[in-house]
Amino acid sequence: SDNKNRVHGRRPSIDGVKDIIAVASGKGGVGKSTTAVNLAVALAMECRLRVGLLDADVYGPSIPTMMKLHGKPEVSKDMKMIPIENYGVRCMSIGFLVDKGAPIVWRGPMVMSALQKLTKGVAWGDLDILVVDMPPGTGDAQLSMSQNLQLSGTLIVSTPQDIALLDARRGANMFRKVEVPILGLIENMSCFKCPHCGEKSYIFGQGGGRHTADEMDMKFLGEVPLDVEIRRTSDEGTPIVFSSPHCGVAEAYKNIANQI
């Protein structure tokens, strides 16, 4: 039925939102936000879902840049912030509320209350799926987000590098502890194909993502290459799934989105 959520039997704790899916990584800089953005756009464009994107990476909000959004959210009659939309995705980020470049030096409790406002204090409307770009790591913020939001599931992003995979395992174990279903692992920056000769280089190692997924009994959802176009479109705020929807990289993201 239309009221049923797609992913799991849990009932997310935001009214009108059927599923809340976290995109997590044990470590920063592995491409978690880039993945969250492109999957959100793929879920909207390719899977035709009503999609929200919450930037919960409060210390390093990058969604405004990656989704080419600026300005402050309007406030609804019932005093909720109205998400700002681009590429068919309704977005909310702490980056809309603080000045660009200003350091966010909050202590734990302030982070928690900011996250509370960014989730429940937002007029999301009816959504099939809310994608949450989680803060990196496995601390308090991640734990309370997982518990308070009643996440339907989580995706784990890692590069094939050993230290990144080690942290990805830590992340996976945290979600298992709080009984959030792990939907699978995405390997980012898998390989680099030389634009001149076409030779493939495995800069961060080869096969590590699949191996870790197998060992941890997680589904392996796919690989995304290290590609200058991903970096460029991400900096420019035109996610590659939107700007080059038929290229191999966009197909890789769509393929992952279709498995969610």
Which residue ranges make up the site for ligand ADP (CB under 6 A)?
25, 28-34, 62, 188-189, 224, 226-227, 230-231, 234
- For the beta carbon of residue 124, count every other beta carbon within 10 angstroms: 21
Please tell me the distance from the alpha carbon of residue 175 to that of residue 156, in angstroms, as a whole number.
10
Of residues 62 and 86, the one with the C-beta less far from ligand ADP:
62
Q: Which two tokens stand for residue 130?
A: 């809310």
CB of 151 to ligand ADP, least distance (A): 18
Of residues 46 and 223, the one with the C-beta less far from ligand ADP:
223
Of residues 197 and 228, the one with the C-beta less far from ligand ADP:
228
Please tell me the distance from the alpha carbon of residue 173 to that of residue 145, in angstroms, as a whole number.
15
CB of 37 to ligand ADP, least distance (A): 8
Of residues 142 and 234, the one with the C-beta less far from ligand ADP:
234
Taking the mean position of all CA atoms in its chain, how far away is CA 168? 14
| β-sheet with 127-133: strand ranges across | 84-86, 89-93, 51-55, 127-133, 17-24, 153-158, 182-188, 220-224
> Which residues, listed in sequence order, are joined to residue 186 by a DSSP beta bridge?
157, 222
CB of 30 to ligand ADP, least distance (A): 4
> Which residues, listed in sequence order, are joined to residue 86 by a DSSP beta bridge?
89
Place of tokens 């992340």: 171
Of residues 106 and 192, the one with the C-beta less far from ligand ADP:
192
Of residues 51 and 157, the one with the C-beta less far from ligand ADP:
157
CB of 217 to ligand ADP, least distance (A): 23
- CA-only gyration radius of the chain, Å: 17
CB of 69 to ligand ADP, least distance (A): 16
Helix (H) or strand (E) holding 186: strand 182-188
Taking the mean position of all CA atoms in its chain, how far away is CA 13? 18
Of residues 50 and 86, the one with the C-beta less far from ligand ADP:
86
Q: Which two tokens stand for residue 57?
A: 């990476």
CB of 113 to ligand ADP, least distance (A): 23
CB of 76 to ligand ADP, least distance (A): 29
Please tell me the distance from the alpha carbon of residue 25 to that of residue 91, in angstroms, as a whole number.
20
Q: Which residue is nearest to ligand ADP (CB)?
A: 31
